[in-house]
Structure 1
Amino acid sequence: MSTFGIDYAAVFQALPGAVLLLTPEFVIADANEAHLRLAGRERHQVIGHFLFEVFPGNPDDPDASGTRNLRASLERVLATGAPDTMALQRYDVEAPGRPGVFEERYWRPVNAPVLDADGRVRLIVHRVEEVTETVRAGTGGRRGDGQRTAAELSTRAQELQGVNERLRRANAREREIVLALQEAMLPAPRPVGHHRAAVRYRPAVGALNVCGDWYDLAELPGDRMAVAVGDVVGHGLAAACVMGQLRSALSAATRVVGGPARALEVLGIYARSVDGAESTTAVQVIVDWTTHTISYSSAGHPPPALLHPDGTVELLDRATDPPLGARPEHVDRPEARVSFADDAVLVLYTDGLIERRREDIDVGLGRLADALTRHRGADAEALADALLAELLPPGGATDDTALVLIRL
């Protein structure tokens, strides 16, 4: 506590640079006056709103990457708890009072975490410097006073466009690398014992928003199968590497411990030693065809869905606990069991299949249940294709989607 009685709220508002305070869900908690002036927004238009609703991407520019790059940077801050300085970005801004009209703007953003006593990210400081302001200011006036000629302005604009193009190409190249890495690490579709699982992976449409999701299947003694899916916080190459480590660790733990809860406990302990692994969500089920039962445990992951032969859908949500590494001390994870009949269908998935911006997750779960019921007569492969076709957005999802489907 300062002995000078400093009013830090007043300091924040007086900062000469443009700053936003964001929650971990990227909701704008506060904006200083410099940012409001720069963005041309009133306080009530930004506070309490989702960042990418207030400042959406330009839908008329297919190459615009500012929104995707900013989201990736913010997710890196959440995953690492460290500041992230972004390269020069083109991020067009919707003109105040003119919906759908975007102005070409260039920015230098920096994102820094505000940590609590346990080292968790509670807020993100998002500071931006607009580098196009001087370009706009240089359209008139005397030479020699810091303003530029039309030719100089044109040259600067071309340089900025060149930087944006290089960033786009670099992002596309990273996408190719991480997708190739993920393909090498995830198991190829194959029968597990005499049972067949349909598996699907669909990468996000953004250049950097890929490779946090994973799945695993393992044959166990006694006509049993272990199935797991998980979602690593963050995207890109770092998330792909974390994903590979966690998938391998869970696959090994499953073969030596008793049940999905114990396997997730072991994985949670391991995750604390892997940078970027904390807050990963995962769920594992063990299907036993001898007893016709499914044992399951979830670490903060969306619930598996069990489609019964009569068309009813049961969400397996009675053994849910926080994500990996969320608790400072070890606590036994819960485990539940459910019976199934022949010809039932088990579905595990990641949140890209059901979650949509500004929509409650129950709406997405309802869509999943409805699609399963309507297509319940299809074989596993056809049903998996039908779910992706109906549930993913037409233009592609902004998050990875992993799907594992087994007809029991």
Structure 2
Amino acid sequence: MTVDPTPLVDPRTYLHGVPYDLLAALRAAGPVAWVDEPPLLGLPGGPGFWLVLRHAEVAGVLKQPQVFSSRLGATQVRDPATPDDLAYVRRMMLNMDLPEHGRLRRPVARAFTPRAVAALEASIRANAVTLVERVLGDADEGTFDFARDLAADLPLLTLADVLGVPEPDRWLLYDWSNRVIGFQDPEYAGSAAFDPDAGTALARQALRHRPAPDADGRMPDPRTRAGMADLYAYAHLLAESRRRDPGPDVMSVLLAERGDERLSVAEFENMFWLFAVAGNETVRNGLPGAMIALLEHPAELARLRRDPALLDTAVDELLRWWTPVMVFRRTAARDTEIGGRPVRAGEKVVVSFTSANRDERVFADPDRLDLGRRPNPHLTFGHGPHFCLGAQLARCQLRALFEALLARTTDLGYAGEPVYLRSTFQRGVKRLPVRWRRAAARPSLP
């Protein structure tokens, strides 16, 4: 029987969760499947793509950048609207191949070494405790929105440290992420949660460049420079501030580079975009996804409470089970093959992290959450030269937040149904009502 993959390209599918049964059927049929791209929700049709489903083939595509290029068509599944849009996004590290990719990655990598992350860990743990104590307050039990009240703010506080963004401006990052990641979701596409009166003069100046909706109420495509003019304005204002008063943050490091590793204006703008958006979203959606995983597996939640030392392996299993970034695109640079299927030069190749992380050939009983799973070669952070720089930072944030929350509560459960993001790219959680009961004794601050 032929399996129809069309639901995978409709963002409305994901309002009801990931279609794991469909992915499993496609994976059983072969390592890759051809997927058409019909016109949908105002987007024009596309040429279609090869969807890579199995773990071995996904890893194989990602570690061969000379065959499967990030630059040729960039890394978003839908093609950029114009040649100019494509040319601009090619200046982002995410959309580069070697050697250019290495030139940009090397200076940034210094901010994400184990030693650098360890230096941030105390601050991350303190922020996690502060956020948990704030939502619990003085009550013995209650409810809160895990997605908004905890999961949204911790990565914003962390990124403010990493990027050198003044803390009052951190909710600007939230709006930018919403507009980019949620462009298929009307609730997020015009996000304006940031209060200018609570921000800095830099933020208010940048907001003068915020794009306005058109006559139909639609914001311009956030995958273009015009669609994120306020972000780029802020990047330049922040750069001026960092040049005057440099610190240990990533922006100061980049601005201090000289010679061959010095960034062009377009590269700097796109690097800020990458950190402000991509650096936020994986953690922001990984956190509530991890909470859902634990609520759906109460025995594993109880296991984690009994053995907090399990957190290190638990974090990776939670990220495997949820997988915030579902897909990424490459373009075949020459005629080749994947799993015995011929792929022609210029064809789109889309790797499914969601499918690879549930591949029965690699993970025993893959739909089951096992917080002690070893080994756990999940691909949540990618593979090969584009492996996520912030992987350790993401793990640190998940560990810190659940350590703080579980230490201060004895009971957690759903207080309502989760609300998911309408997106084919990010497995997002917009709202997650959680009920809680406080632990009898409050732990000391870290």
Settle same-fold status: TM greater than 0.5.
no
Give the TM-score normalised by structure 1. 0.29
- Report the structure, 1 or 2, having the larger helix content: 2
- Report the structure, 1 or 2, having the larger strand content: 1
Q: Relative contact order (C-alpha < 8 Å, sep 6+): which is higher?
A: 2
Give the TM-score normalised by structure 2. 0.27
